[in-house]
Structure 1
């Protein structure tokens, strides 16, 4: 199943990151370029770094200058994340390009890659909730609460995986079709963000 490959690759990325747990460490993608595993690993690495950036920026004692630099880092990271999702969707568009949709085929509310994006974030939630559920210096009550949350996250991962597999099956059979819209983010574009092109926001 494709989702099993996703989960395995995401776990690989998360484990590799936590060997050093350093937001400044550059990615060392172990998968061959031009493979979907390479894209999945890169996608999750971005998510993992951003997860920890979001932790750091919430430090109430953070230096405001550092906070601004980190906010801009997060903005760049969001753009890179969006780009990777579109690359993964391109993989599916190519994979299913020969499929002819049936006359009553329908479109899904989201593309396969955006659903896989949620699966990547779920992998991070599971990793960190498992850490909390087994944290030696936490209270028993804390660990029990986190274990219950972990159980729900694992159930959510199973349900989302089932839904993604059903979507991919429907696309492969022509029952659903893909239509991918490029993300039209405006705040990073100097020609679209009024603050960047010199006008006051309306």
Structure 2
């Protein structure tokens, strides 16, 4: 059984290298063209943009309109992040032979996993998504250890947190590699799910439905 070349180390390297690029995340030219890595990088880009908006949304000296603008941007980036995660899962599951390719992008993908394979509650794509967030946390905490405008206690405390974050990423990486290896061996599987985020959909969000009905008179 063939599968795309995907290891946790390669994912970590991509995340870190993109964060180190001064043009990131503004430039989409840094996103690889190959489908799997395109969506992994797209997920990472939206997490980076989401992270920046979350910081801005905590401001206390700007207008409510500015914060509302941040909150709407957060919704958009969060939806795009989840969409990219699902694309990663679809590509991996097709390559692993664990989903019917014709249904993979539908709202109800058909699993073709062996009956004896254990079902992992977390998808490989969601683990890659978590690794993206871990890369952001590590990058931000490392910068705290390098600050010159704080005292030694702040830097020391930040170093302890950084060490813990690095360990967490190693553990998560081990889990991702282990899951994919088990999937290749037919001992495990996961399924692509849909987030069905109703608050972003005017057809389902009751507040938006009420607004539309009220506008009709």
TM-score, normalized by length of structure 2? 0.83
Q: Does 1:85 align with 2:90?
A: no
Shift of 1:10: 0.7
Q: Taking structure 1 as reference, are residues 190 and 101 closer, same or farther at Cα in structure 2, changes over 3 Å only? A: closer
Determine the structure 1 residue equivalent to 2:47: 47
Contact 2:199 2:205 in 1 (8 A): yes
How much has 1:167 moved relative to structure 2?
Answer: 0.5
- Please report how far the alpha carbon of residue 101 of structure 1 lies from its aligned counterpart in structure 2 after TM superposition: 4.5
- Cα contact 2:16–2:135 (8 A) shared by 1: yes
Q: Which runs of 5+ in 2 are unaligned?
A: 1-5, 100-111, 212-217
Equivalent pair of 1:190/1:197 in contact (CA under 8 Å): yes
Are the aligned partners of 2:48 and 2:136 in contact in 1 as well (CA < 8 Å)? Answer: yes
Distance 2:75 2:31 in 1: 26
Shift of 1:130: 0.3
Q: Aligned partners of 1:30, 1:88: CA distance in 2, in Å?
A: 18
Q: 2:177 matched to 1:165?
A: yes
**CA separation in 2, counterparts of 1:45 and 1:76?**
13
Q: Report the counterpart of residue 153 of structure 1 in structure 2.
A: 165
* 2:109 alignment counterpart: none
Q: Which residue is equivalent to 2:214? A: none
2:37 maps to: 37
**Which residue of the partner structure matches residue 11 of structure 1?**
16
- Does residue 128 of structure 1 match 2:133? no
State the match for 2:28 in structure 1. 28
Judge which range, 79-88 or 103-112, deviates more. 103-112
Say how many residue pairs are matched.
Answer: 194
Give the Cα–Cα distance (whole angstroms) in 2 for the partners of residues 31 and 54 of structure 1: 23
Matched residue, 2:129: 117
For the 8 Å contact 1:27–1:45, the answer to whether it is kept is: no
Q: Measure how far apart 1:138 and its partner are.
A: 1.4
**TM-score, structure 1 normalization:** 0.89
Give the Å deviation of 1:34: 3.3
User: What is the SS of the residue equivalent to 1:44?
Assistant: helix
Task: Deviation per CA, 1:52-98: give whole Å up to 9, x if none.
Answer: 11111101112111111110110011110010001111110121017
Bigger drift between 87-96 and 99-108 goes to: 99-108
2:189 corresponds, among 157, 177, 192, to: 177
Q: Distance in 2 between matches of 1:91 and 1:20?
A: 27
SS in 1 for 2:133: helix
* CA deviation profile, 1:121-153 (whole Å, cap 9, x unmatched): 000000000000111221100000000000000
